[in-house]
Structure 1
Amino acid sequence: MWFRPPYGKGPDVESGANRPLYPVMLESPQIRWAFIRKVYSILTVQMLLSVAVASVVVFVRPVSHFFVHHSAGLGLYILIIFLPFLVLCPLYYYHQHYPVNLLLLGIFTVSISFAVGLTCAFTRGKVILESVILTALVVVSLTLYTFWAARRGYDFNFLGPFLFSALMILMVFVLVQLLFPLGRISLTIYGGLAALIFCGYIIYDTDNLIKRYSYDEYVWAAVTLYLDIINLFLSILTLFRASET
Structure 2
Amino acid sequence: MWKDDIESASRPLYPMMLESPELRWSFIRKIYGIVSIQLFLTIVVASVVVTVHPISHFFATTRVGLAIYIVLIIAPFIVLCPLHSYYKRHPLNYFLLGLFTVTLAFPVGLTCAYTSGKVILEAVILTAVVVISLTLYTFWAARRGQDFNFLGPFLFGAIIVLLLFSVIQIFFPLGKISVMIYGGLASIIFCGYIIYDTDNLIKRYKYDEYIWAAVALYLDVINLFLSLLNILRAADRQ
User: Taking structure 1 as reference, are residues 13 and 193 closer, same or farther at Cα in structure 2, changes over 3 Å only?
Assistant: farther
- Report the equivalent of 2:224: 232
1:108 counterpart = 2:107: no
- Report the equivalent of 1:9: none
1:76 counterpart = 2:82: no
Unaligned 5+ residue runs, structure 1?
Answer: 1-11
Q: What does 1:37-116 correspond to in 2, within 5 Å?
A: 37-116=29-108
- Report the equivalent of 2:200: 208
What letter corresponds to residue 33 of structure 1 in structure 2? W
Q: TM-score, structure 1 length as denominator?
A: 0.93
What letter corresponds to residue 15 of structure 2 in structure 1? P
SS of residue matched to 1:43: helix
Contact 1:13 1:33 in 2 (8 A): no
User: Taking structure 1 as reference, are residues 177 and 17 closer, same or farther at Cα in structure 2, changes over 3 Å only?
Assistant: same
User: Taking structure 1 as reference, are residues 14 and 164 closer, same or farther at Cα in structure 2, changes over 3 Å only?
Assistant: farther
Distance 2:39 2:121 in 1: 15
2:145 aligned residue (153, 163, 177): 153
- Report the equivalent of 1:144: 136
2:112 aligned residue (99, 109, 120): 120
Cα deviation, residue 13, structure 1: 7.3
User: Taking structure 1 as reference, are residues 232 and 33 closer, same or farther at Cα in structure 2, changes over 3 Å only?
Assistant: same
SS of residue matched to 2:90: coil
Cα deviation, residue 93, structure 1: 2.0
Indicate the structure with greater helix content: 2
2:186 aligned residue (189, 194, 197): 194
Q: TM-score, structure 2 length as denominator?
A: 0.96
Distance 2:132 2:15 in 1: 23
User: Taking structure 1 as reference, are residues 220 and 13 closer, same or farther at Cα in structure 2, changes over 3 Å only?
Assistant: farther
1:28 aligned residue (17, 20, 26): 20
What are the Cα deviations for residues 23-78 of structure 1, in whole angstroms up to 9, with x where unaligned?
Answer: 11110011100100000000000000000000000011111112122332122111
What letter corresponds to residue 103 of structure 2 in structure 1? S
Distance 2:83 2:111 in 1: 24
Unaligned 5+ residue runs, structure 2?
Answer: none
Distance 2:168 2:9 in 1: 49
Distance 2:85 2:202 in 1: 22
SS of residue matched to 1:191: helix
SS of residue matched to 1:25: coil
Cα deviation, residue 14, structure 1: 6.6
Q: Which 10-residue stretch deviates more, 62-71 or 140-149?
A: 62-71
Distance 1:155 1:92 in 2: 27
Distance 1:68 1:181 in 2: 19
Distance 2:195 2:45 in 1: 27
1:130 counterpart = 2:137: no
How many residue pairs get aligned? The number is 234
User: Taking structure 1 as reference, are residues 18 and 41 closer, same or farther at Cα in structure 2, changes over 3 Å only?
Assistant: same
User: Taking structure 1 as reference, are residues 119 and 14 closer, same or farther at Cα in structure 2, changes over 3 Å only?
Assistant: farther
What are the Cα deviations for residues 189-244 of structure 1, in whole angstroms up to 9, with x where unaligned?
Answer: 10000000000000000000000001111111000000000000000000011112
